[in-house]
Structure 1
Amino acid sequence: MITPALSSSSSSRADVTDASREESITAWALDARGGDPVAVERFVRALHQDVRRYVAFLGADPQSADDLTQDTFLRALGSLPRFEGRSSARTWLLSIARRAVVDSIRYTSTRPRLSDTEDWQTAAERTQPRDLPGFDDGIALAELLDMLPRDRREAFVLTQLVGLPYAEAADVSACPVGTVRSRVARARTTLICWLDDAEERTPAAAAA
C-alpha cells in the first residue's frame, strides 16, 4: 500500500530526526575504530536490521541472509580503522554488504548444484494458498519484490525500505543518482500494477 505524503512540517521534523540518527550512527562507527565496545554494540544494533533486510531482498534465502549479515559486520569491523566518515556509516556499511552478496553469488556459482531447487522449503511455502485468513501481507510484498529485476529491487529496497536518500543509494549501487530514481519509479509502477491485479483477483476468487 502506498502511504500518503506527509505534510511539509511533519516531513521537516522527520528529516531532522533522521539526520540526527545518521550522525549518531556515524559517530559510533568513528568511536568504534578505537575499540570502544559500547560504540561497537550501538553501531551493530542500529544497522543490523537494515543490513539483513538489504541482503535478503538482493536474493539471499533466509539462511544465507543471516550468514551474509554476520559476514558484513565482520568485514566492517575489520575495516573500521580505515573508515574516515566521509560518507555516512550506513552508506559505507551497505556498500560492504553489497560486496558480501556479490562474493557469495560468485562463490555459489562455482559450486555444483545438488538439485534444481536450492531452497525446497521456501519453494513449497510459495505453492500454498495466499488468500487464507491471517496471511502476512509482508510475505506477499517480499515475493513481489523478488520478482523484480535485481537492479530495480535493490534501488527500491535501499530507498523505500532501508530509507537511504537517493544520492547515498547511488553511492552504494555505484551508479548515477538519476539511474536510481528511474529504477525506483519503474519498480514502484510495476509493484502497483501487480498489487492492483492481486486485489482484483481476490474478490473474484472469494465469489467463486
Structure 2
Amino acid sequence: MITSALPVSRDEHDRRDQCEKRAALDEAATAWALAARGGDAAAVEHFVRALHRDVTRYVAHLCADPQAVDDLAQDTFVRALGSLHRFEGRSSARSWLLSIARRAVIDGYRGAAARPRLYDVPDWEPAAELAQPRGLPGFDDGIALLDLLTALPIERREAFVLTQLLGLPYAEAAALTDCPVGTVRSRVARARETLLALLAAADGPAVLVA
C-alpha cells in the first residue's frame, strides 16, 4: 500500500509549535492559578509572569488611552488575585484573566467619561511595541499592528486580537465576549479582509494565513 503525504510548510510547523507551546502555557498557568488559591506565593508569581504580556497586549488594543494601559493591566491582576478563591479551573486561567481585563477596561471607560483625555504621541510607542505579534504569518516583525487595528470596529478588533494575536480558541473568545462562535469567526474574517486591504495599500505582504 502506497500512501502520499504532502510536505508540511515551515509556517505550518511554526504554527503547530506555537499552538503546542500556548497549550502548555495555558495548562501551566491554570495549575499555578489553582495553586495560588491556597496561598502559594511562588505560584502567584509564576501566574502573573506567565500572563502579564497577554493581558497588557489585550488591554492595549481595547483601550483608547495608551497612558492607561499599565494601570489597567495592574488593576486586572489586583482584581484577579482578589478573586482567585472563586477560580475553579473550569476554563483556562488565561481566558478567565482576559475576561477580568475586559471588565477593567469597561470600568475604566466609565470612570474616565467625565475626565478630559490628554494624548502624548511618545506614549503610543510602548503600546505599539506590546502590540507587536510574534510569528503571525502575513506580518513582518517590524510592522506595528496598532495603527492598522485601530481602523477596525471594536468588535472585530477584539475578536482578531483574542484569536490571532493571543491565540485564544474561538470557543473561549466567544464565551469571553458573550457571542456565538460563528459571530467571532465572522468578525475575524472581516477583520482580516480589512487588514489585507490596508497592507496591500501600504505595499505590505499579500497573504494573511488563518
Give the TM interval when normalised to the shorter protein.
0.7 to 0.9
Greater helix share, structure number: 1
Q: What residue in structure 2 maps to residue 119 of structure 1?
A: 119
Give the AA of the match of 1:162: L
1:42 to 46, 52, 63: 46
Give the AA of the match of 2:48: V
1:18 to 16, 19, 22: 22
Structure 2 residue 97 is the aligned partner of structure 1 residue 101:
no
Q: Output aligned runs, 1:85-96, within 5 Å.
A: 85-96=89-100
Q: Are the equivalent residues in 2 in contact too, given 1:30–1:85 (CA < 8 A)?
A: yes
Q: What residue in structure 2 maps to residue 138 of structure 1?
A: 143
1:6 to 7, 12, 28: 12
Q: Output aligned runs, 1:29-68, within 5 Å.
A: 29-68=33-72
Identity %: 60
Give the AA of the match of 2:155: D
Structure 2 residue 70 is the aligned partner of structure 1 residue 84:
no
Measured in 2, the distance between the counterparts of 1:101 and 1:184 equals 21
Q: Report how far residue 18 of structure 1 moved.
A: 2.8
Measured in 2, the distance between the counterparts of 1:144 and 1:173 equals 22
Q: Are the equivalent residues in 1 in contact too, given 2:76–2:101 (CA < 8 A)?
A: yes
2:202 to 185, 198, 203: 198
In the alignment, structure 1 segments of 5+ residues that lack a partner are: 126-135, 201-208
Give the AA of the match of 1:167: A
Measured in 2, the distance between the counterparts of 1:16 and 1:197 equals 34
String of CA shifts for 1:79-106, please: whole Å, max 9, x gaps. Answer: 0000000000000000000000000111
Q: Report how far residue 112 of structure 1 moved.
A: 4.1
Q: Are the equivalent residues in 2 in contact too, given 1:59–1:146 (CA < 8 A)?
A: no
Q: Summarize the Cα distance change of 1:59–1:12 in structure 2 as closer, same or farther, 3 Å threshold.
A: closer
Measured in 2, the distance between the counterparts of 1:12 and 1:107 equals 41
Q: Summarize the Cα distance change of 1:26–1:137 in structure 2 as closer, same or farther, 3 Å threshold.
A: same
Measured in 1, the distance between the counterparts of 2:40 and 2:60 equals 29
SS at 1:147 equivalent: coil
Give the AA of the match of 1:163: G
Q: Report how far residue 74 of structure 1 moved.
A: 0.1
Q: What residue in structure 2 maps to residue 159 of structure 1?
A: 163
Q: Are the equivalent residues in 2 in contact too, given 1:32–1:80 (CA < 8 A)?
A: yes
| CA root-mean-square deviation | 2.4
In the alignment, structure 2 segments of 5+ residues that lack a partner are: 1-8, 126-140, 205-210
String of CA shifts for 1:40-81, please: whole Å, max 9, x gaps. Answer: 000000000000000000134332000000000000000000
